[in-house]
């Protein structure tokens, strides 16, 4: 930080330090030493060589059809923070009486609190409950899901590949692994390469937002260059939307162009605390092949147990 | 639409040039109006590996000036395909008799990636530095806190993407035997390295040796983390470089 600040610039000053200054420096030094010298288990720190791939064969015949899918994120099984609550009974009851057809479900990550095996097992049961209703689940890894042995549990209980793609009724969905707040070199390269060869309309599904809004000081991808490359890929390769979670308040829409947007979904669990005040939510996205648009409808469990339905956005796709 | 995008591309290509001109216009009068003098010229050569650019060579040149109450560092880095221009200033407050010196820190940075876009980062903060002279060692501790504003420009965006994030910096430097200097730092940015979000720190360590009164050589290793938690970060960028510093004689 001492830019242009060398000894020749008269910087040697006498040591005359007051008690509060000593304490202040002591605290700062302690923080620094703790950060430098702590011995976390680095064996689980991921390299950029994740064992995924976007090379799954997909149908690119271009026959688009209308359909709906369920989106939820930030379930956080095992979370014990103050004020956190879930409305699973209301969710299953709503799903069992939903009048439309839901082709599949998309989970945008952070389904565990601390990547523990019992939390993964709870999520596996959740996936099974959906499967019993003929709704397959596609899951994105979140930052809470990759701690400790999280990636190992992810491949065991959720999906073998941390990133992948699938196509449904003419749209390609790219499940992106941003659990580390970055795609990493290999995933980014593969994403750019495979989307360039994929002629379908595409949707990116991530945990960490791409941008969102200026005030997301911690909640988006931090690397400007990586963001530029993803954005250019979205605009050049018919990626209509970037779905994300992570920011529990959610419901943030940003339109990069008329045909390229980002939407941040709110958390599945509710929380009633000083830091976070949200109601349990999930969403239904409906692609309209005639209008080539995507509607996002939010379903919220209110305090009285009723579920409200609001159309949040209707976005034109490229 | 195609014409509009072409125009927007032209505007974005102009951004680094505009930043360079602004910096030049800012730096030149500052140097001319005060008794500021050239303190050092640093040339680096190295290697970097990042999420967006796998292993590649890079180089940078930076020039330091200092004077009564001001320190200034301006430089350019070529880390293809990205070009960076950076300026950092420290305006020391009037408390030179104290063991610690307070300062206002400002930084401006521009990065340009041809055919993609450009970004500009501006930092304003408050910093402190203390130099402790011991028998065989001089210790320098500095820290700073402030705010950073970043803007990303791309041809298809009507408005730049604006980000606010905190600026933070902590550096400890040891100088031994009047010729060997070891330093380590962690912070939200360096002269050329920035991120748009909080908690993506850059950690750096360097060792330098004064070959003569005019020439210092050294090497530096730095990593830019994607997150601060050891459980979830990956290294978004790592750099290793050697450098030569020319320190002109003060007349």
pLDDT of residue B15: 63
Q: Which of B70, B113, B132 sits opposite A225 (nearest CB)?
A: B113
Spatial contact of A115 and A145, defined as CB atoms under 8 Å apart: yes
Distance CA A28, CA B132 (A): 16
CB contact under 8 A, B51 and A215: no
CB proximity A181 to B under 8 Å: yes
- Residue A306 phi, psi dihedral angles, 5° rounding: -75, 155
For helices A224-236 and A185-197, the axis angle rounded to 10 degrees is 10
- What stretch of H or E contains A34? helix A19-37
pLDDT of residue B110: 94
Q: For an interface test with B, which of A6, A7, A8, A9 has the most B Cβ atoms less than 10 Å from its Cβ?
A: A9
Set of chain A residues whose Cβ sits within 8 Å of the Cβ of B162: 214
Q: What is the CA radius of gyration of chain B?
A: 19
CB proximity A185 to B under 8 Å: yes
For the cut 70, the answer to whether the pLDDT of residue B226 exceeds it is: yes
Choice between A55 and B136, residue whose per-residue pLDDT is larger? A55
Interface of B with A in 156-195 (CB under 8 A): 156-157, 161-166, 169-173, 184-187, 191, 194-195
Interface of B with A in 46-85 (CB under 8 A): 50-54, 64-68, 70-73, 82
For residue B131, give every residue at least 6 positions away whose Cβ sits within 8 Å of its Cβ, in sequence order, or none: A11, A12, A13, B99, B138, B139, B140
pLDDT of residue A290: 95
pLDDT band at B28 (very low <50, low <70, confident <90, very high): low
Q: Which of A40, A143, A214 sits opposite B163 (nearest CB)?
A: A214
Distance CA B204, CA B187 (A): 9
For the cut 90, the answer to whether the pLDDT of residue B251 exceeds it is: no
Set of chain B residues whose Cβ sits within 8 Å of the Cβ of A32: 170, 172, 186
CB contact under 8 A, A179 and B232: yes
Q: Could you tell me if residue A129 is left (phi over 0), alpha (psi between -120 and 50 degrees) or otherwise beta?
A: alpha
Q: Which of A6, A47, A226 sits opposite B52 (nearest CB)?
A: A226
Closest among B159, B194, B188, B245 to B84, alpha carbons compared: B194
Which SS3 state, helix, strand or coil, does residue A87 take? coil
Distance CA B55, CA A137 (A): 37
CB contact under 8 A, A228 and B152: yes
Q: Where does chain B show beta strands of DSSP type E?
A: 37-50, 56-67, 70-79, 82-92, 100-113, 117-133, 137-153, 161-176, 180-187, 202-210, 215-225, 235-246
Closest among A178, A113, A123 to A148, alpha carbons compared: A113
pLDDT band at B27 (very low <50, low <70, confident <90, very high): low
Is the bond preceding B81 in cis, omega lying within 30 degrees of 0? yes
pLDDT band at B12 (very low <50, low <70, confident <90, very high): low
Q: Which CATH class is domain A53-316?
A: alpha beta
* Helical residues (DSSP H) of A98-238, grouped into ranges: 117-131, 150-153, 185-197, 224-236
Q: Which of A40, A188, A224 sits opposite B111 (nearest CB)?
A: A224
pLDDT of residue A41: 38
User: Following CA atoms A159, A163, A167, A171 in sequence, which dihedral angle do they give, to the nearest 10 degrees?
Assistant: 140
CB proximity A218 to B under 8 Å: yes
Q: Counting one residue from A and one from B, how many pairs have CB atoms under 8 Å apart? A: 219
Spatial contact of B109 and B121, defined as CB atoms under 8 Å apart: yes
Separation in Å, CA of B93 to nearest CA in chain A: 13
Distance CA B169, CA B146 (A): 9
Q: Which of A12, A36, A260 sits opposite B131 (nearest CB)?
A: A12
* Pairing verdict, β A164-168 and A104-107: unpaired
Sheet with strand A293-301: strands edge to edge: A137-139, A104-107, A67-72, A281-288, A293-301, A307-316
What would the mean pLDDT of B213-234 be, rounded to a whole number?
89
* Burial classification of residue A96, based on how many CB atoms lie within 10 Å of its CB (0-12 exposed, 13-18 middle, 19 or more buried): exposed
* Burial classification of residue B219, based on how many CB atoms lie within 10 Å of its CB (0-12 exposed, 13-18 middle, 19 or more buried): middle
Spatial contact of A68 and A285, defined as CB atoms under 8 Å apart: yes
CB proximity B106 to A under 8 Å: no
Per-residue pLDDT tens over the stretch B57-105: 999 999 999 887 888 999 999 998 999 999 999 988 876 566 788 899 9
For the cut 60, the answer to whether the pLDDT of residue B33 exceeds it is: no
CB proximity A85 to B under 8 Å: no
Min mean pLDDT across A263-272, B1-10, B139-148, B178-187 is at: B1-10
CB contact under 8 A, A28 and B133: no
Spatial contact of B52 and A223, defined as CB atoms under 8 Å apart: yes
Give all domains of chain B, ordered by start, each with its CATH number: 2-246 (2.40.160.40)
Separation in Å, CA of B161 to nearest CA in chain A: 7
Spatial contact of A187 and A89, defined as CB atoms under 8 Å apart: no
For the cut 80, the answer to whether the pLDDT of residue B16 exceeds it is: no
**Maximum pairwise Cα distance, chain B:** 69
Spatial contact of A133 and A98, defined as CB atoms under 8 Å apart: no
- What stretch of H or E contains A73? none
Q: What residues form DSSP beta bridges with B218?
A: B208, B243
Q: What residues form DSSP beta bridges with B117?
A: B113
For the cut 70, the answer to whether the pLDDT of residue B4 exceeds it is: no
Choice between B12 and B6, residue whose per-residue pLDDT is larger? B12
Domain boundaries, chain A: 53-316
Which stretches of chain A score pLDDT less than 50? 4-20, 33-48
CB proximity B31 to A under 8 Å: no
Separation in Å, CA of B50 to nearest CA in chain A: 7
Percent of chain B with pLDDT over 70: 84
């Amino acid at each position: 930080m001492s830019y242009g600040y060398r000894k020749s610039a008269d910087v040697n000053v006498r040591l005359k330090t007051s008690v509060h200054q000593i304490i202040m420096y002591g605290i700062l030094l302690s923080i620094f030493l703790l950060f430098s010298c702590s011995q976390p288990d680095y064996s689980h720190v991921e390299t950029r060589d994740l064992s995924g791939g976007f090379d799954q064969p997909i149908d690119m015949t271009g026959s688009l059809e209308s359909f709906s899918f369920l989106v939820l994120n930030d379930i956080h099984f095992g979370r014990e923070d103050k004020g956190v609550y879930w409305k699973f009974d209301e969710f299953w009851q709503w799903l069992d009486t939903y009048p439309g057809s839901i082709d599949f479900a998309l989970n945008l990550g952070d389904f565990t609190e601390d990547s523990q095996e019992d939390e993964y097992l709870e999520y596996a049961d959740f996936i099974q409950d959906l499967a019993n209703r003929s709704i397959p689940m596609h899951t994105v890894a979140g930052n809470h899901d990759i701690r400790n042995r999280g990636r190992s549990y992810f491949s065991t209980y959720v999906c073998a590949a941390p990133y992948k793609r699938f196509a449904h009724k003419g749209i390609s969905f790219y499940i992106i692994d941003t659990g580390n707040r970055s795609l990493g070199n290999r995933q980014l390269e593969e994403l750019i390469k495979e989307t360039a060869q994929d002629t379908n309309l595409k949707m990116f599904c991530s945990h960490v937002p791409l941008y969102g809004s200026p005030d997301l000081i911690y909640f988006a991808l931090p690397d400007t260059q990586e963001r530029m490359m993803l954005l250019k890929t979205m605009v050049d390769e018919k990626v209509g939307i970037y779905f994300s979670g992570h920011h529990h308040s959610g419901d943030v829409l940003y339109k990069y162009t008329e045909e390229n947007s980002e939407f941040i979904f709110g958390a599945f669990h509710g929380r009633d605390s000083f830091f976070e005040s949200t109601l349990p939510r999930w969403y239904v996205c409906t692609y309209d092949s005639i209008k080539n648009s995507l509607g996002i409808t939010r379903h919220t469990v209110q305090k009285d147990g009723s579920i409200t339905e609001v159309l949040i956005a209707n976005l034109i796709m490229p | 639409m195609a014409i509009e995008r072409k125009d927007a591309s032209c505007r974005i290509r102009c951004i680094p040039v505009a930043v360079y001109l602004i910096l030049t216009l800012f730096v030149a009068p500052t140097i001319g109006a005060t008794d500021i003098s050239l303190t050092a010229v640093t040339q680096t050569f190295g290697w970097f590996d990042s999420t967006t650019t796998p292993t590649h060579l890079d180089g940078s040149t930076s020039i330091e000036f200092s004077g009564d109450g001001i320190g200034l560092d301006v430089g350019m880095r070529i880390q293809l395909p990205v070009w960076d221009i950076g300026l950092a200033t420290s305006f020391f407050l009037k408390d030179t008799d104290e063991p610690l010196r307070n300062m206002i820190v400002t930084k401006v940075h521009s990065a340009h990636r041809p055919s993609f876009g450009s970004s500009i980062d501006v930092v304003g903060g408050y910093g402190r530095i203390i130099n402790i002279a011991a028998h065989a060692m001089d210790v320098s501790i500095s820290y700073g806190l402030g705010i950073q504003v970043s803007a990303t420009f791309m041809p298809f965006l009507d408005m730049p993407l604006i980000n606010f994030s905190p600026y933070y910096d902590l550096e400890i430097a040891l100088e031994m035997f009047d010729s060997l200097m070891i330093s380590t730092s962690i912070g939200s940015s360096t002269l050329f390295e920035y991120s748009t979000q909080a908690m993506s720190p850059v950690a750096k360590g360097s060792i330098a040796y004064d070959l003569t009164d005019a020439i210092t050589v050294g090497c530096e290793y730095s990593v830019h983390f994607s997150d601060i938690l050891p459980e979830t970060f990956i290294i978004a960028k790592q750099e290793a470089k050697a450098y030569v510093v020319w320190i002109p004689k003060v007349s």
